[in-house]
């Protein structure tokens, strides 16, 4: 779990930068999903903000993100 405060206009870029900071050995695609399944790849910060959910009991916001290794083929 990583705590982040996202700006609506730059949310996707902020997540991609954090992924590169924490896991710098490869390039990552930022996707919606869990460790078990991927829903879709985020292509805009608007999609990121629309995917933010709120817990019922404690009322905090969260976003499930799955990082997929970006493959570069020659």
Residue 49 covered by a domain: yes
How many domains does the chain contain in total?
1
Residue 1 covered by a domain: no
Confidence of residue 73 (pLDDT cuts 50, 70, 90): low
32 φ, ψ (degrees, to nearest 5) = -85, 135
**Whole-prediction pTM:** 0.86
Number of neighbours of residue 66 by Cβ within 10 angstroms = 19
In this prediction, residue 71 carries a pLDDT of: 81
Model confidence over 11-63: pLDDT tens digits?
999 999 999 999 999 999 999 999 899 999 999 999 999 999 999 999 999 99
Tell me the residue range of the domain where 44 lies. 11-69
Report long-range pairs for 43-48 (Cβ below 8 Å, ≥24 apart). Answer: 43/12, 44/12, 45/8, 45/9, 45/10, 45/11, 45/12, 45/13, 46/8, 47/12, 48/6, 48/11, 48/12, 48/15
């Amino acid at each position: 779990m990583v705590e982040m405060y996202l700006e609506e206009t730059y949310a996707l870029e902020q997540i991609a930068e954090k992924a590169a900071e924490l896991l710098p050995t490869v390039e990552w695609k930022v996707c919606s999903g869990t460790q078990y399944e991927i829903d879709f790849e985020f292509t805009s910060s608007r999609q990121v903000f629309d995917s933010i959910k709120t817990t019922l009991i404690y009322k905090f916001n969260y976003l499930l993100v799955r990082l997929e290794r970006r493959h570069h083929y020659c």
